[in-house]
Amino acid sequence: MSWKDILVIVSEAEADEPALALGEALATQCSDCHWAAAFLTPLPDEPLAYEPTVVAGVWAELLSRARQEADAERKRVEARLRQSAKACELRNAEALSRDLGRVAAVHARYADVAVMTRPSEGVGAELREEIIEGVLFHSGRPALIAPPDWSGKTIGKRVVVAWDASREATRALSEAQAILDKAEKITVVTVDAKPKMFGHGDQPGANIAAHLSRRGLPAEVRNVDSMGRSASLAIMEEAQALQADLVVMGGYAHSRLRELVFGGATRELLRSATIPLLMAH
C-alpha cells in the first residue's frame, strides 16, 4: 500500500526547508498524493511568581509576542508553499512548549507519514527533538527525518535497512513498505550481530532479507563490524558508502531514559544523520 497522505511538521520557514523539500519530493513521486504542512506555534510556559497579577500580565505579554513572531514566520511558510508545483494545505496549531510533541502526534495520526527536520545545534534543538519523540511515541505513525541540508528531488531509490531484529526495527520495515516497493536497491545492514535464537537467528540479516525477497524486493545483507565505532556511526558510514538516500530503522529500542543517560543509536542519529531517516517505534 502506497502513502497517500503526507504531513510536514514545521515551525520555521528557513530551518524547516529540508522537511518541506522532502515532503514535496514524496508528494511528487506519487501522482495522487495529498500533502499538508502543520505549522506549530510553541507558547511560553506560565512564568513563576508569587503575585498572581504580575504573572498574568507578564504571561499575556509573552503570549502576545510569541504569537506575533509565529504569525510572521507562518507567512514565510505560506510564501514558500505557494512556490510548490503541487498544492499544499497549511494547518495551524499552538500549544505550550511542553505539550507540542503530543499536539504534533495528534496531527500525525491523520496522515500516513510525518516529515520533520532533524534537530541541529543551537536554539530550538531540544524542542525539535521533543516533537520528533512525540510523533514517534504517541502518533502510531512513522517519522521521516530530513537532515538540515537536505535538498534532493527524490528519495527511496537506494535504501539501507538498519536491522537489529527488534520489534521497533520490524515496525519501521513495515511502515516503509510504500517506499521499499519502489526501491532500486535495498541493503540490510547489521552491526556486530551475533547468531541468537531470540534475535537474528543462525545467520544475522538472512531471514529478513529472505522475507523482503519473497515480496519481490531486491535485498542483500551486509554484516558490519563496528571496529570500535558506535552503532550509529557504523550505520551512517555504511549508508554513505552505499550512496543510500534513506535509512530505515526502529526508534528507541531502548527506553528514552537509558538513551539519554548512556547514549543510543536513535538519539545519536537524530543529532548527526546526514541521510534521511525513516523511524518507527
Write phi, then psi, for 274 (nearest 5 degrees). Answer: -105, 0
One domain for residues 139 and 181:
no
Give the pLDDT band of residue 44 (cuts 50, 70, 90). confident
One domain for residues 21 and 132:
yes
- Least Cα distance to 178 among 215, 152, 211 occurs for 215
Specify whether the CB–CB gap between 216 and 130 falls below 8 A. Answer: no
Among the candidates 120, 146, 172, a domain finishes at: 146
Examine residue 153 and state whether it is found in any structural domain, yes or no: no
Q: For the chain, what percent of residues have pLDDT higher than 70?
A: 93
- For the cut 70, the answer to whether the pLDDT of residue 53 exceeds it is no
- For the cut 50, the answer to whether the pLDDT of residue 175 exceeds it is yes
Buried b / exposed e along 114-140 (16+ C-beta atoms within 10 A): bbbbbbeeeeeeebbbbbbbbbbbbbe
Q: What's the CA gap between 142 and 178, in Å, rounded?
A: 12
Examine residue 241 and state whether it is found in any structural domain, yes or no: yes
Counting every residue written for the chain, the total comes to 281
Specify whether the CB–CB gap between 163 and 208 falls below 8 A. Answer: yes
- Least Cα distance to 176 among 162, 166, 190, 164 occurs for 162
Examine residue 189 and state whether it is found in any structural domain, yes or no: yes
Three-state secondary structure call for residue 156: coil
One domain for residues 139 and 203:
no
Q: List the grid coordinates of 172.
A: 519501521
Structural domain range at position 23:
5-146
Name the most confidently modeled range: 53-57, 72-76, 118-122: 72-76
Pairing of strands 158-162, 246-250: parallel
In a 13 Å sphere around the CA of 63, the CA atoms on its Cβ side amount to 12
- For the cut 50, the answer to whether the pLDDT of residue 210 exceeds it is yes
Give the pLDDT band of residue 259 (cuts 50, 70, 90). very low
| Predicted local confidence at residue 246, as pLDDT | 97
One domain for residues 198 and 66:
no
The DSSP H or E segment spanning 261 is helix 256-262
Three-state secondary structure call for residue 237: helix
